[in-house]
Chain A
Amino acid sequence: MASLSRESILNIFLTLAMVALPFVATAIDEPFYITLATRVAILGLAGVGLNLALGTGGLVSFGHAAFFGVGGYAAGILASHALNYTPIMESPFLIEGTNQMLIIWLVAIIASGIVAYLIGLLSLRTSGVYFIMITLAFAQMLYYFAISWPAYGGEDGLSIYVRNAFLGVNTLAPHGFYFICLGLLFGGIFLSATLKNSRFGAALQSARQNEERLSAVGVRPFNIKLTAFVISGMMTGLAGALFADLNRFVSPSMLSWHMSGEIMILVILGGVGRLYGPLAGAIIYILFEFIFGGMTEHWQFFLGLVLLGVVLFARGGVIGLIAGRARHD
């Protein structure tokens, strides 16, 4: 058995820390930390989704808020109909709301997958700066649509009065919901590791590094990238559904480009393409927000400075700083 790399040790440490956190928080009587950690897990999952497109596939999407928001609205809309006992539609067939997370997640994943497919179909015809601007623009389109569509709260957003239910777990208790989110985060991390090592992952990494070569061996880069984009959007969409449940509130701000920027920032802070990069980035981001946000309302000024520093001087992100350059195989 080969000795573990520093990155693997760091990953194991992060895993254990996340599992232990709620027990520590309870022991020192700071239940709010569990809520913070839940945010970390959810934003981490959103980042894991983006990391698949961005890190593995090299697709610089500045529109992942679209999927995050669509997932969020899927949760909000289903839950609000369930609460009001009004069907979502009656003809041609009856669709009712639900407060079951499993169904909500499924709907969120499918809905964000469809949106990702449509956006990807158009934006992947281009590359480089075009791709960045187009993903940004389409996300913004959904943002304006959510603002101007009055049925589900428009600009004011939509409240979920009671957190949705998951099998026998008490989702209202911070522990219960935290472990649901954490489980999905690790599921997402496991899935992206599996994908990366698969045939599909090999093709996707090739699409990032050398599209010309990939097509010369007979694989269409477009199809590979579109598939990755859809899977990526689905993961971020699932995170959006969880985020809605965490806040018990959905609003157009989940679709805004600041959200896209936030998801991207935490992927970068952690380290692009690193398995645990999004989690590490989310931890840093939330801690930063918590600590500096408590000291000054202008904390984003300092976030900007840190981000600028990371981009200009520490390109591997935090995991890169700790674990050294990525090992390639």
Chain B
Amino acid sequence: MTNPILEIKNLKKSFGALKATDDVSITLNVGEIHALIGPNGAGKSTLIKQICGGLSSDSGSVIFNGKDLAGLDVAERAQLGLGRTFQISSVIMEFSALRNVMLAVQAFNGSSFRFFKNVRNDKVLVARAMEILSRVDLEKRAEISAAELSHGERRQLEIALALALEPKAFLLDEPMAGMGPEGSKRLISFLDELRKEAPILLIEHDMDAVFSLADRISVLVYGRVVASGTVDEIRANPAVREAYLGETA
């Protein structure tokens, strides 16, 4: 019996006549990377938003760590241990890399309602944030403002922010997007290690990354899961080849 940390059951969301997610059921087990692939407009982003609480679902449920997430907002779900990254880097632009991570650390271990102590003198906060930055190879860029970081560095920062929450599951929305070949390679080996800390629901277009990392793959087309299985099963699945790879079987 596998042990799902995240269980998505029959999730639906329509925008007018458009069914963005149509009866999607997916599980994420401890220790695995579950990749979610599908052509543009397949509803991947909608699904992520529904899981994270940014978008309410028409029906269905999200069970995380044994708890139904219905009615919880984005912040509460993050506190429960859902660590996500955004498809387009979403960081605090005026803050340095360090202060970005410090924000996440402060949110994770303690309160944001402390009014008087200068965060720069908050040794615990700074030390922990530096530790996380070094995990994503950004410690030398700690004092650079996020606005001046390169695209790839911002992707790394994005992951650092998720790490700081010490999540029970990662939801990574196209972490490879826009990374150079060298960066992608390093990120792949990083994620490979990361799955030991917490399982990863990985949305990705980079098929090399998906096929080398994923334990399981689900294919989403027009809001429906058309196939789900191991890497080999998906490679062999004629429906996937037709719908996703554009081949005629």
A216 contact set on B, CB distance < 8 A: 52, 74, 78, 84, 86, 90, 161
CA distance A235 to B133 in the complex (A): 38
Check: B150 CB closer than 8 A to any chain A CB: no
Q: Are A203 and B75 in contact (CB under 8 A)?
A: no
Across the interface, do B145 and A197 meet the contact criterion of CB distance under 8 Å? Answer: no
Contact status A217-B164, CB under 8 Å: yes
Collect the chain A residues with CB atoms within 8 Å of residue B116's CB: 194, 198
User: B115 touching A198 by the CB < 8 A rule?
Assistant: yes
Contact A217 B165, CB 8 Å, known A199-B111, A200-B112, A202-B106 = yes
- A217-B104 contact given A194-B116, A199-B111, A329-B96, CB 8 Å threshold: yes
**How many whole Å from A5's CB to the nearest CB in chain B?**
16
Q: Which stretch, A126-134, A205-213, A279-287, A292-300, touches the partner chain B?
A: A205-213
Stretch at the interface among A16-24, A158-166, A219-227: A219-227
Per-residue CB contact flags for chain B residues 76-93 toward chain A (1 = under 8 Å, else 0) read 101100001010001111
B interface residues, tally (CB under 8 Å): 42
Q: Are A202 and B104 in contact (CB under 8 A)?
A: no
Q: Are A210 and B112 in contact (CB under 8 A)?
A: no
Are B90 and A199 in contact, CB atoms less than 8 angstroms apart? no
* A92 contact set on B, CB distance < 8 A: none
Query: Is the pair B92, A213 in contact by a Cβ cutoff of 8 Å?
Result: yes
Complex alpha-carbon distance, A157 and B120, angstroms:
48
Judged by a CB distance under 8 angstroms, whether B248 is at the interface is no
Please name all residues of chain A whose beta carbon is closer than 8 Å to the beta carbon of B102 when the two chains form the complex: 202
Q: Is A180 an interface residue (CB 8 A)?
A: no
- Do B118 and A200 touch across chains, with their CB atoms under 8 A apart? no
Nearest B residue to A200 via CB reads: B115
A198 to B54, CA, bound (A): 28
Is A198 touching B95 in the complex (CB atoms < 8 A)? no
How many Å from the CB of A124 to the closest CB on chain B?
Answer: 14
CB distance from A52 to the nearest CB of B (A): 12
The distance from the CB of B212 to the nearest CB of chain A, in whole angstroms, is: 27
- Proximity string of chain B (98-127) to chain A, C-beta cutoff 8 Å, 1 when within and 0 when not: 010011101110111111111110100100
Rounded to whole Å, the gap between the CB of B187 and the closest CB of chain A is 20
Distance in Å from the Cβ of A158 to the closest Cβ of chain B?
A: 34
In the complex the two chains form, what is the Cα distance from A224 to B111 in whole Å? 11
- Partner of B78 from the list A201, A206, A218, A328 (CB cut-off 8 Å) is A218
B201 to chain A, nearest CB (A): 15
Size of interface on A: residues with Cβ below 8 Å to B: 27
Given contacts A200-B113, A216-B52, contact A206 B92 (CB under 8 A): yes
Residues of B within 8 A of A15 (CB): none
A8 close to chain B: CB less than 8 A: no
A195 close to chain B: CB less than 8 A: yes
Contact residues in A for B104 (Cβ distance below 8 Å)? 217
* Interchain nearest-CB distance for B163 vs A (Å): 11
Q: Which of A199, A201, A214, A215 has the most CB of B within 10 A?
A: A199
Nearest Cβ on chain A to B169's Cβ, whole angstroms: 14
Separation of A221 and B108 alpha carbons in the complex (Å): 15
Decide yes or no: A219 and B75 within 8 Å by CB, A197-B120, A198-B116, A199-B112 being known contacts. Answer: yes
Residues of chain A lying within 8 A (CB to CB) of residue B79:
218
Q: Which residues of A contact B161 (CB under 8 A)?
A: 213, 216-217
In the complex, whether B94 has a CB less than 8 A from a CB of chain A is: yes
Query: Of B90, B95, B111, which contacts A328 at CB under 8 A?
Result: B95
Query: Is B242 close to A, CB under 8 A?
Result: no
* Bound CA span A21–B105, Å: 46
- Which residues 253-299 of A sit at the B interface, judged by CB distance below 8 A? none
Contact of B119 among A198, A210, A215 (CB under 8 A): A198
Interface centre among A200, A215, A218, A328 (most CB of B within 10 A): A218
Check if B78 sits within 8 Å of A215, measured CB to CB. Answer: yes
| Nearest CB in chain B: distance from A224 CB, A | 6
B58 within 8 A of partner (CB): no
Cα–Cα distance between A213 and B95 once the two chains are bound (Å): 13
Contact B94 A218 (CB under 8 A): no
- The distance in angstroms between the C-alpha atoms of A206 and B91, with both chains bound, is 9
Contact across chains for B118 and A203 when beta carbons are under 8 A apart: no
Chain B residues with Cβ under 8 A from A218's Cβ?
75-76, 78-79, 107-108, 165
**Interface contact A213-B90, CB-CB below 8 Å:** yes
CA distance A215 to B73 in the complex (A): 9
- When distances are taken between beta carbons in the complex, the residues of chain B under 8 Å from A220 are 73, 75
Contact with B along A173-204 (1 / 0, CB 8 A): 00000000000000000000011011111110
Convert B15-39 into 0s and 1s, putting 1 for each residue whose CB lies closer than 8 angstroms to a CB of A.
0000000000000000000000000
Taking the closest CB of chain A, its distance from the CB of B102, in whole angstroms, is: 7
Top 8 nearest A-B pairs (CB, nearest first) are A218-B78, A215-B74, A203-B112, A218-B79, A217-B107, A328-B94, A217-B104, A197-B118
Known A-B contacts: A199-B112, A227-B113. Give 10 more (CB < 8 A). Answer: A197-B118, A199-B106, A199-B113, A199-B114, A199-B115, A212-B54, A215-B75, A216-B90, A218-B76, A328-B95
* A interface list, Cβ under 8 A from B: 194-195, 197-203, 205-206, 209-210, 212-221, 224, 227, 328-329
Can you show 9 pairs from A to B with CB atoms below 8 A apart? A199-B114, A199-B119, A214-B75, A216-B52, A216-B90, A218-B78, A218-B79, A220-B73, A328-B95
